[in-house]
Amino acid sequence: MSAENNKTAAEFSQNWKLIKKTINSEKPLIHHITNNVTVNDCANLTLNWGALPVMAPAAEESAQMVENASALVLNLGTISSAQLESMLQAGRRANQLEIPIVLDPVGVGATKFRTEAAQQILSELKIDLIKGNKGEISLLAGKTAEVKGVESIGEYEEIAENALLLAQRLDTAVVVSSETDLIAEGSQLAEINRGHPLMGKVVGTGCMLGSTLAVFAAAAKKSGLSLFEAAKTAVYYYSLAGEKAAAKENTPARFKIEFMDQIYLLG
């Protein structure tokens, strides 16, 4: 299967100029119902892109909060029954208002509850973009995958097919984070070969990518870009920030700080 992998830096730059202009003028609010482990990192990263973060997990206010938002992030990292109900309420309201939803099904397949929560969200809500690792995307596509904690185990040659299958079945965009990142929507498939291994040494880089995708999705409509183009551009610049940070720092803690600074310098 062939994938679009020859997009030039100049073409991504044109997309980014459109998105950055929208972010700067609109200051989109990104509503997160997310992972307790990485919530602070996701908030700071969203702010560094130039958007505004809000973390409002309570079911009593989640639907009302999303009315002020430009995108909604649902992250299953520390999912609970109460948080699931909040996600469903916020998601229903987001669907009514046509506000894009980004789902990060962290660890789906690791437990029955986590898997059923993801399935319920996908059955009751229209999700605009799903971001996961190879195992998570394979499982959601109905294929065999072994997941331990939040990291998938094993290599699957069919990951591109699984991403396209899931994208087409749910009419959504799919981002697969791996050594080579894949972005799928409809029959379109793109590869992004950027980033640095240190990004895998910091807890939360996957969650922060979900926030990044939400920022770019929020800006996509008013930028005149498709969600597919916005997602590719998000992954490209997120990975580029990782490369720039790794060029300056070579240990995980220092890298994390520099990575945040590089996002800020881009934004």
Residues of each annotated binding site for substrate:
55, 204
CB 95 within 8 A of CB 101: yes
Residues of each annotated binding site:
55, 131, 177, 204
Tokens coding 61: 């206010």
Residues of each annotated binding site for ATP:
131, 177
Please state, as a whole number, how many other Cβ atoms lie within 10 Å of the Cβ of residue 144.
Answer: 10
Closest to 107 (Cα-Cα) out of 151, 64, 142, 67: 151
Separation of first and last alpha carbons in the chain: 34
Q: Encode the chain in three state secondary structure.
A: CCCECCCCHHHHHHHHHHHHHHHHHHCCEEEEECCCCCHHHHHHHHHHCCCEEEECCCCCCHHHHHCCCCEEEEECCCCCHHHHHHHHHHHHHHHHHCCCEEEECCCCCCCHHHHHHHHHHHHHCCCCEEEEEHHHHHHHCCCCCEEECCEEECCCCCHHHHHHHHHHHHCCEEEEECCCEEEEECCEEEEECCCCHHHHHCCCHHHHHHHHHHHHHHHHHHHCCCHHHHHHHHHHHHHHHHHHHHCCCCCHHHHHHHHHHHHHHHC
